[in-house]
Amino acid sequence: MPYWRLSSFYLFYFASLGALLPFWGVYLQDQGFTALAIGQLMAILQATKIVAPNVWGWLADRTGRTLMIIRLASLLTWLAFLGIFAVRGFWGMALVMIIFSFFWNASLPQMEVVTINHLGARMRRYAGIRLWGSVGFILAVMVLGVLVERQGSGVVPLMALALQVGIWITSLLVVERPVEARPAVEGISILSLVRRPEVAAFLLCGFFMQVSHGVYYAFYSIYLTEAGYASGTIGAFWAWGVVVEVLVFAIMHHLLERFGARRVLLTSLGLAVVRWLLIGTFVGEPVILVLAQALHAATFGAFHAGAIHLTHHYFTGRLQGRGQALFGSLVYGAGGAVGSLASGILWTGAGPQATFVASSLVAALGFTIAWLWVDRERRF
């Protein structure tokens, strides 16, 4: 198994995410965009996940050239991102973000397929590879936090571009392993799988989990900046959340074996309710924020690992690419886009605290759906 080649892709991919999620909103604010416009632009990063993974997933499944798709999408990502340096105004920025994120959001779901195929029966070792993505995220937010504090937010697109080139280079190093068909489910259509109550409930609770994260990804750094925290401190908050996430990834295979994916998802959703309430209520208390950021290990890390495990179980054989793409588009794409848009509207109209409380309620709705319908009788 090409452990380091696979891990390096995750490292650069999530490092680029670490450059965009914490600081892109700050960069846009410094460029003169309003809170509503920032919410709309951040929603673009998520909304393209609705379409892009399915288009590229269908193409990968049809051609059987998954790795070629990853390499092409990675190349076109940084080429399209160059447009950021040439545009001005909302519509120009929106156009470039639509094009670049259409390619950027295409590669990760397909790399999940490549990784899973390499793992084979060793699926529980997935978290050990994925944790390097968290390491990349930590390094990016720590370095960029210091750079933004010293040089301003203009360094953000430069760092993002460099990391996107790194994604492309590492994609050239990865080798592909053919999909091992699983005959028992080869005749099942993806639509028939989605119609199964437990699969539909799984996707729906994931959708609400990501809706609840919308305010965090779009406005957390702005929220802390307005509360008086320096950029370096804000980067440290982001990094701390992912440090704890790395620790969870390191032991996730034990947690899945011991408790099963259903309990992991339920715990993650329950802790999301607590996390958003803490952030919305205690922004002036650094110790409470440190505790709330530690919960990122559950609300993203544990949730993601458990969800990938269930997605791999539900969508097998030649449906793997489209299954991972469907999960990414409905959960991270549609959920993230709705969350960013709604948070932009609420942030402007009701204020930060009300927006975080609303996110907590959305996470509670996801918990209820998972409790009632997601694999109550089975443990994976």
Lowest-confidence region among 53-57, 122-126, 338-342: 122-126
Question: Is 186 part of a structural domain of the chain?
Answer: no
Residue 378 lies in a domain: no
Least confident of 125-134, 138-147, 212-221, 252-261: 125-134
In a domain, 265, yes or no: yes
Whether 324 has a pLDDT exceeding 80, the answer reads no
Q: Do 136 and 19 contact (CB within 8 A), yes or no? A: no
The pLDDT value recorded for residue 379 is 47
* Residue 182 is assigned to a structural domain of this protein: no
Higher pLDDT, 377 or 240: 240
pLDDT at 124: 64
Q: Is residue 319 part of a domain?
A: yes
Which of 8, 309, 271 has the alpha carbon at shortest distance from 129? 8
Which pTM was predicted? 0.81
Torsion of CA 236, 238, 240, 244, to 10 degrees: -170
Listed in sequence order, the residues at least 6 apart from 376 whose beta carbon sits closer than 8 Å to its beta carbon are 262
Range 32-50 average pLDDT: 90
Please report, for the chain, how many H helices and E strands are present, in that order. Answer: 16, 0
Q: How many CB atoms neighbour CB 97 within 10 A?
A: 26
41/273 Cα distance (integer angstroms): 26
Q: Is residue 338 a part of any domain in this protein? A: yes
Tell me what pLDDT residue 329 has: 83
Which secondary structure element, helix H or strand E, spans residue 258, and what is its range?
helix 231-281
Q: What is the CATH number of the domain that holds 37?
A: 1.20.1250.20
Q: Is 379 part of any domain?
A: no
- Give the list of residues 6+ apart from residue 276 with CB closer than 8 angstroms, or none: 212, 215, 216, 356, 357, 359, 360, 363
Across the chain, mean pLDDT equals 88
Q: What pLDDT is recorded for position 312?
A: 78
pLDDT score of 1:
65
User: From the CB of residue 43, how many other CB atoms can be counted at a distance below 10 Å?
Assistant: 24
Please give the Cα distance from 186 to 179 (Å, whole number).
12
**DSSP structural state of residue 285:** -
Weakest mean pLDDT among 185-199, 237-251, 356-370:
185-199
pLDDT over threshold 50, residue 182: no
More confident residue, 184 or 305: 305
pLDDT at 7 over 70: yes
| Domain total in the chain | 1
DSSP 68-99: HHHHHHHHHHHHHHGGGGT--HHHHHHHHHHH
- At residue 256 the predicted structure's pLDDT band, cuts being 50, 70 and 90, is confident
Distance of alpha carbon 304 from the chain centroid: 8
102-132 pLDDT, tens digit per residue, is 999 888 878 888 887 887 666 667 777 878 8
Give φ, ψ of 181 to 5 degrees: -65, 145
pLDDT in tens, 127-138: 778 788 888 988
**Domain coverage including residue 41:** 7-174+191-373
114: in domain: yes
